[in-house]
Amino acid sequence: MREVQSKRLAVLEPVQELVPGTVFSIGGSIFADRGSRYVWVHEWGALASQQQAYLPYHIGVFDGAGVIMQRAPKAPYQYEIIRLNTSPYPGATSEGSDIERAAMKDHGENHQFPTENTKGPDPTLVWHAALQILKSVADGSNMNVVIGPTVYYSSTARLWFPSQTISLTAFIPSSGNAVRVLIYLSTFTGTIGIISSAEVVIPGSPAFPNPPPNSIPSAYFYLEDTYTTLDMTSDYADARQFLGTSSAAVAAPSAPSQQIFSNNSLEWVLGKTVTSNGEVVVSGGDIVWSST
């Protein structure tokens, strides 16, 4: 009786188109996040199309295998692999078998937003969190933070900061307290610095530390005394300022003044700013810093 009923229902269901595809891998695995019964498949003729197709138990596939798929007749109408396909894939000679088969490529133009007059048909708006420039990211497993690369300016020099990993373990406050730290790029040293607020008793809210002179802020992190990991949702606050005046450039003072600088021998020396060209010299006349 059940078999007869299934046949009757099959007659009522629409005929589904057979779709050829090719199994590919992402990160070395053909299996999608949904489990071992779903594999990544590139649909033939669909630019930058990546699908998660259901793999029946009686079919074995591998990276680069050709398959024939069919949409399930019921929701969620997912692709199901029904058999292997021995026909050659038309684009096999020009496409690799890894993630490039799922790349945006030319399809990305649909989402571009270069100007108000040249939007793609499906433009994508991007906010702070999506930009990786000098972004601080904690992986959630320890107190380490990775700061992304950026181009910055110190005086008139164009400089490159590649990336840096730092630990916030040393800034854990005393028992029962909380602090907030600021991670920033020093344009003097080209390295990451950290400045902490004063400790407050939990559940008080620590202040946001002010960026030091000639620094580019990256992020604030909230820390409590019991922390062993960092959370990008509850502990993180973006400090990057993409609009406005840059704090990276070193401006020459308007009048001569005494300043302390470190020379090449890492000795602290008293210098005097020469306003005509911005050079800083010690009493003996040796230049220890120049704006050019």
Specify the pLDDT at position 290: 52
State pLDDT tens for residues 158-216: 999 999 999 999 999 999 999 999 999 998 889 999 999 999 999 999 999 999 888 99
Sign (positive or negative) of CA dihedral 8, 9, 13, 17: negative
Instruction: Please tell me the pTM assigned to this model.
Output: 0.53
Cα separation, 138 vs 144, in Å, equals 6
| Beta pairing, strands 177-186 & 200-201 | antiparallel
pLDDT > 70? residue 5: no
Q: What is the pLDDT of residues 267-286, one digit of tens each?
A: 554 544 444 444 555 555 55
Predicted local confidence at residue 28, as pLDDT: 80
pLDDT over threshold 60, residue 79: yes
Q: What is the pLDDT of residue 139?
A: 87
pLDDT tens digits along 39-53: 988 887 665 577 889
3-state secondary structure of 14: coil
CA neighbours closer than 13 Å in the CB half-sphere of residue 280? 18
Whether 197 and 207 have beta carbons less than 8 Å apart is answered as yes
Q: Residue 168 and residue 136: Cα distance in Å, rounded?
A: 12
- Tell me which residue of 161, 238, 174 sits closest to 200, measured CA to CA: 174
Q: CA-CA distance, 261 to 102, in Å (whole number)? A: 53
Chain center to CA of 139: 11
Is the model's pLDDT at 246 over the cut of 50?
no
**pLDDT reading at 68 higher than 50:** yes
Say yes or no to pLDDT of 61 above 50: yes
Which of 14, 243, 219, 210 is CA-nearest to residue 136?
A: 219
Considering only residues 147 and 60, tell me which one the structure prediction assigns the higher pLDDT.
147
Percent of the chain with pLDDT over 90: 33
Beta bridge partners of 158: 153
Distance CA 194, CA 183 (A): 5
Indicate whether 125 pLDDT > 80. yes
What is d(CA 255, CA 273) in angstroms, rounded to the nearest whole number?
8
Q: Which CATH number fits domain 2-105: 3.40.190.10, 3.40.50.10680, 1.10.3720.10, 2.40.50.140?
A: 2.40.50.140
pLDDT band of residue 77 (cuts 50, 70, 90) is confident
pLDDT score of 136: 96
Query: What is the model's pLDDT at position 193?
Result: 93
Give the domain ranges of the chain.
Answer: 2-105, 136-238, 258-289
Is residue 81 a contact partner of residue 55, using CB atoms and an 8 Å limit?
yes
